[in-house]
Structure 1
C-alpha cells in the first residue's frame, strides 16, 4: 500500500532561522497571514495564486535582505516554477506561489521545536582581527585552538560535528511528526479562496495536490511513478467518463483518508559511520564504488563517514539527482554529475568538487573545507574557515554564525562540464555572482527577546556579523585540476583530455571551446596568467644560464626534493596513492581499457598538471614520484 511521506528536502535544504524572519509568527496565526497574502495575489493561467516579493515583505514584515533570502530558498524548493525560463525575471519581479510560501513558513515554525541552544554551534565572541591567520583570531576560533592540540583536538572537533549531525537527523524524524500534527492546517492552506456562498469545508483533488510541496506518496505497486498526491484518496478521482465534474470532499474526510496512509518510518535517519574499520568491507570492495578509504559509506545518494580517503562519482552514479555528503574528514570528493540538490554537512579538512547543481547546494557546519561548485544557488550556514570557489548564478546565501569564509571565482573545468550544466538546468550565460552574497541579518525589533534558535551572529540591530566573509585576493587565486572526464564509470569516465589539465594553455588556439564556463574577473585573469607564466620564465632563465651537466643534475635533484616535500606537507601524496589504486582496479576489471594507455591515466595526468605549479589540491600524481616539476 502506498504511504504518505514528508518531503524531506523542505527541511533539509529550506530550514531558516525563523526567529530572525518572523519571531512572533505561530501556526495558529498562519491562516490569517495566508489570507492577507491571498488578498494581494493574482491568478496565473492555471488558477494558482501568486504574489510579488514586495507583497511578501509587507505581509511578513521582512527587510529586503530577509525577503531575498526567503524568495531564493522558496524558488529552489518550488514545484510550480520548475521549468527553465528563457529570461529569468528581474529581482523583485518573481512570481511567488502563495500556497507554497505559506506551507514553507509552516515548515519554518518547526525550528522552534527542533532547535535547542547549543554553545558548540556558534563561534565564541572576541576582539576583532584581520582574519583566521592572526593570533588574535586564533583566540576567537575553537577549531583553531583544537588545531594547536594536534590530532586529539581535531578528533574532538569532529565529534562535535557528529553531534550536530545526530541532532539534525533526529530533527528530520521530528519534522514528519510535526507535519502530521498540522495536517489539517496544511489542507486548509492548500485551498483556493472560497467564493461568496461557497463551502469552505471541502477540498478538490487539484487543491490536495498542492500539498505535494510538503508530502510525497511512497513508491508502491498501487501507484505509478510520479503519481499525484490525490491518488492516495480514491474518492477525489473523477468518475469514469468525466461526467459530473471534479468531486470535492470534506476536509475532515480527506484528513482521515491521509492519516490511514501515513508512513510511520518514512524518514529513516542515516547512521553515522564511525572511524573504526573492524566491520568495513575489503578495500577492493570500497574501490569498486569509487571510494579509496578504509572506512565510510558510498551509495547512489550518499557519501558519509569517509576518513582520509578519496571518492570519485561520475555522471551515472547518482541517478536520483540528490546527494548528501556528511561526516567526511581529511577527504577529497569528486562529484562530476548533473544534480538538483546537494547537502554538505559536518565535514572538516575536505576538498569537494561538485559538477553542476540545478536547484540548491547547502553547506552546514563545515570546518576548513574547500568547495568548488557550479550551482544555481548556494546556502552556507554556520561554517568556519572554508574556501568557496563558486560559479553561482544567484547571490550566495550566508546565514547562521559563519566565520572567515573566503569567496573566490570558480576555478576548474573538465570534459563533460558544459553537458552537466545543461542537464542540471543551469544558465552559465547569466554569469557568476560569487562576490555579492546575501548575509541574513535581523532587524531592529525593540523589546523582542531572542528565541532559543536565534544565533548570536544575528544582530537584532541589523548589524552584519563580523568576519563573515572576505573575497580572495587575485594574487592568491589558482586553478584546480580535475583529472577525470566526468563521464560514467568508477573513474568518472577515465582520465581527462591533456588540454583540460594544462592550464598554461590559456588563450591558446589549440584549445577548442571556451576556456572558462564562468569568465574570470579581469584582475583574477591577469593574476592567473602572470602565475602561469612563471614556469616558462624560469625555464628560459635556466637555459640562458648555460649550467654544466653536474650543476643541472644538482638543480634537478633540489627541485625534486622540494617537490616531494610539498607533496607530503599538502597531503597530496595520499591522493596519488588513492587514485593509483582506483585506476589499477579499473584497468584490471576492464581488461586494460580506460586507463590512459598502460596505467598513466588520471593520476599521472593530474600530477603533471599540478607539478607545473597549478596547485589547489587536485590529485597530482601516480606512484613513483612522477616527473620533475621543471620537466614540463
Structure 2
C-alpha cells in the first residue's frame, strides 16, 4: 500500500482559508457524524450529502464550498464513468459536469488529507508572497523559510535585484524539494491515521463495538490508498479488499470481514516504506536539481526535446532549461503528465489527458491540448498556459497568463497575483478528437472569465499584511483593512484581470498533434496562417476553436486581420517596381529578424528547425528502405520552413 499521490498533488488546498475551524481529526469526526445524520443512501451503499448541508454544517462561504466541491469532483472515484459502469447498466451515464454527487466518505477522506498540512508545518511565508516594506518580515521568515535562514522570498517588487531570476529558480526548486518531502510525510501521516480513515468509510456511524468492515467499505479507501505496484497489463488496480484477502483473508484468499483494529493492522503490514519511486523525484529531494544530468542530444530529439538540460519520460517533463519539448499521442500512455522545474522553455502537450500538473516553472509557454479531469498550476512565475480543460486550479502563481477553454469556473487558491485570464486561442488537427476522448465538455459555455477565488472568511492578517501590501490572491491585507463583504470581493478580484479583446492574439501550433515522432509531424502550411485561426462565420458551419470566441474578442481579432489585409492591399496599389518590392520585402524581413532577436524568440525557431531536421532525416531513412523519396517541405524564399512557421506564430 501507498498513498494516492494525486489527492495531495491535485487536491491540496490552504486549510486556513478553506475551513479554519477544522483543527484536528476529532473535529473532522464530529463534522462527519453531523453530515452522516443528514445524508441519504446512494449507489452501492455510499452516503450522499447535499452542497447546502456541507456549507451549513462546516460553516463555509459560497466560494469555499465551491472550491471544495470542484476539487472533490475532480478527484472522485465514485462519480467516474468507470464506477458508474461497474454499478450496472441501469445506473445510467456518468453525472453531468458540475452536478456530481458529494459522497460523504470521499469528502471526509479529502478533509483528513487536508489536515496533514498542519503536521507539514507549511508556513504562511510559503503560501503568501511577503510585503517587502514590512520591517519584521525578515526576522519572521528566517526560522521557517525553506530557502535558507534570513533569505527573503523573491517578490515581483524586488525583481530588479541582481541575479533575481536565478534566485527565483532556486526558490522554486526549493518548493519542489519541499513537495517531495511533504509527499513522504503524507504517507506516514495516512499510515498513522488508518483507524479514523476506516471509520470514515463505514456505512453505519458511529461504529458499534466490534463492528466489522465489508469488502465494499474497504474498497472505498482507494480514494486515498492504492497498491504500490501497477496493475498487470496496465488495467485498473486490484480492489483493496482483494489485496487484504490474499494476505489476511479466509479460505481461497477471499476477503473475510475484519474488525477495525484488525483491518488497521493488516493495512499497516502491507505499507510500502518508500512512496517516491521516481528517480527524478528522488533527485529533487537529494539536492541534485540544479545539476540534473541530461541524455545525449540524439536521444533528446528522439524523445521530442531539444534542450541543454532536462528529462522527459512517459509521465513527466522536468528540468528543461531554454529548450523545446513536444509530446503527442502515445507519448503519455498513462493519461497524465507532471511538468516541473522548467525555465525559459516552450512545451507542447498534444495528447488526450485526464490530469496535468505544472509546478515550479518560470518564463515558459506551456500548451496542454485537452484535459478531462483537472489541470493544476502551482507556484509558477511568468508562465503562459494555453489549455482546454474541464477544471483548472491555480495555486500561488504570479504574473502568469492563461488562455483557457473550460466549462467550469477556474479555481484560484493561495496567493495569486497579477494573473491574466483570456479565452482559448489555438487549435491543431487532432484537438477535437483529443477533447472527445477525454470527455471535455466543449458544448458548454467557456467560463474563463468567472473564476472562483478562495478567500478566508475569518482570516487574520499575517506578517506584512499592511493595507497597502501588494499581496493579492486571498486578499488578507485588504480583508484586514476592511471588515465589509465588499473588501473580500475586491481582494478576490485583485488577484486577476481579464485579457482585453485588443490584446487577444492566436497561438499557432506547428504540429499535427497525432501519434509518432514530433506529435505526428509538422502541421500543414495553411494551419500556420492567422486567417486559419479566425473564428469568422464566413469560414463555414461551426466554430474554428473548441470553444467559440466571445463576440468582442472575435471582433477584435477580425479588426487585426483586416489591418494586415488593408496593408497588403496598399502595397499592391502603390505600384512599386520590382526593385522597390524586393527592397520593401528585405526591409520587412530585416525588421522581423531584429524583432526575433530582441524578443528572445530566435532560440525557439532554432529548436523547431532542429526537431524538423531530425524528423526529415528519419522520414528519408524510412523512405529509402522502401525505395521512395520523401517530398521536401516548401518554404518561402530566404526563410526555412521552421522560420516561416515561427513568423506566423507571432
TM-score category of the 2 structures, normalised to the smaller one: 0.7 to 0.9
**Aligned twin of 2:224:** 214
Greater helix fraction, Structure 1 or Structure 2: 2
**What is the rounded CA distance, in whole Å, between the counterparts of 2:153 and 2:249 in structure 1?**
58
Choose the corresponding residue for 1:249, options 252, 258, 271. Answer: 258
2:465 is equivalent to residue 431 of structure 1 = no
| Superposition CA RMSD, Å | 3.2
Kindly indicate whether residue 30 of structure 2 is the aligned counterpart of residue 32 of structure 1.
yes
Q: Distance in 2 between matches of 1:499 and 1:514?
A: 17
Q: 1:548 aligns with which of 545, 552, 577?
A: 577
Once the two structures are TM-superposed, the CA of residue 587 in structure 1 deviates from its matched residue by 2.3
**1:22 maps to what in 2?**
19
* Counterpart check, 1:6 vs 2:42: no
Q: How does 1:393-432 map to 2 (within 5 A)?
A: 393-432=407-446
Partner of 1:70: 68
Matched-pair contact (CA < 8 Å) for 1:587–1:593: no
Shift of 1:422: 1.1
Is 1:312 the counterpart of 2:326? The answer is yes
Q: 1:175 aligns with which of 186, 190, 213?
A: 186
Q: Offset of 1:28 from its aligned partner?
A: 1.8
Q: CA deviation at 1:274?
A: 4.1
CA 1:94–1:466: 2 relative to 1, 3 Å: closer
Q: CA deviation at 1:159?
A: 0.7
CA-CA distance at 1:276 after TM superposition: 4.3
Q: Assess, with a 3 A threshold, how the Cα gap between structure 1 residues 456 and 538 changes in structure 2: closer, same or farther.
A: closer
Question: CA distance change for structure 1 residues 274 and 99 in 2, over 3 Å: closer, same or farther?
Answer: closer
| Deviation larger for 5-14 or 282-291 | 282-291
Residue matched to 2:79: 81
Cα 1:364–1:51 shift into 2, 3 Å: same
1:193 counterpart = 2:191: no
Match of 2:620 in 1: 591
Residue 552 of structure 2 corresponds to: 523
SS in 1 for 2:412: strand
Q: CA deviation at 1:126?
A: 7.9
Aligned partners of 1:338 and 1:355 also within 8 Å: yes
Matched, 1:166 2:173: no
Q: What residue in structure 2 maps to residue 271 of structure 1?
A: 283
Q: CA deviation at 1:88?
A: 5.6
Query: What TM-score results when the alignment is normalised by the length of structure 2?
Result: 0.84
Q: Report the counterpart of residue 120 of structure 2 in structure 1.
A: 114
Name the SS for the 1:591 alignment partner. Answer: helix
Q: Quick check: 2:510–2:523 contact (8 Å CA) kept in 1?
A: yes
**Residue in 2 aligned with 1:608?**
644
**Greater displacement, 574-583 / 505-514:** 505-514
| Aligned partners of 1:483 and 1:605 also within 8 Å | no
- Deviations 1:116-160, CA, capped at 9 Å, x for gaps: 326365334489xxxxxxxxxxxx99554554346x221111111
Task: Report the CA distance between 1:546 and its aligned residue.
Answer: 1.1
Report the TM-score when normalising by structure 1.
Answer: 0.86
Displacement of 1:444: 3.5
Which of 97, 103, 110 is equivalent to 2:109?
103
2:499 corresponds in structure 1 to 472
Distance 1:465 1:522 in 2: 26
Does residue 370 of the first structure (1) align with residue 404 of the second (2)?
A: no
Change (3 A) 1:394 1:315: same
What are the ranges of 5 or more consecutive residues in structure 1 without an aligned counterpart?
128-139, 616-632
Stretch moving more, 214-223 or 290-299: 214-223
Alignment of 1:148-163 (within 5 A): 148-149=160-161, 152-163=163-174
Query: Per-residue deviation at 1:517?
Result: 1.1
- Asked whether the 8 Å contact 2:340–2:359 carries over to 1, the reply is yes
Q: Is the 8 A contact 1:349 1:369 kept in 2?
A: yes
The Cα of 1:516 is off from its aligned counterpart by: 1.4
CA contact (8 A) 1:176 1:267 kept: no
The one of 289, 300, 321 equivalent to 2:314 is 300
What is the deviation of 1:609? 5.0
Aligned equivalent of 1:287: 301
Structure 2 CA distance for partners of 1:225 and 1:434, relative to 1, 3 Å? closer
CA distance in 2: counterparts of 1:522 and 1:609, whole angstroms: 28
Preserved contact between residue 400 and residue 457 of structure 1 (Cα < 8 Å): no
Any idea what SS the aligned residue of 2:508 has?
coil
How has the CA–CA distance of structure 1 residues 69 and 237 changed in structure 2, closer, same or farther, with 3 Å as cutoff? same
Larger mean CA deviation between 549-558 and 163-172 belongs to: 549-558
For residues 281 and 343 of structure 1, do their structure 2 counterparts lie closer, same or farther at Cα, with a shift above 3 Å needed? same
The offset of 1:195, in angstroms, is 9.6
Change in 2 beyond 3 A, CA 1:390/1:74: same
> What is the CA distance between 1:586 and its match in structure 2?
2.1
3-state SS of the aligned residue for 2:283? coil
Gap change, CA 1:44 and 1:451, over 3 Å in 2: farther
Residue 146 to residue 286, structure 1, CA distance change in 2 (3 Å): farther
Aligned to 2:238: 227
1:261 paired to 2:277: no
Distance change in 2, residues 1:195/1:398 (3 Å): closer
Give the Cα–Cα distance (whole angstroms) in 2 for the partners of residues 425 and 180 of structure 1. Answer: 35
Separation (CA, whole Å) in 2 of partners of 1:154 and 1:209 = 47
Cα separation, 2, equivalents of 1:582 and 1:30: 53
Deviation of residue 253 (structure 1)?
A: 1.1
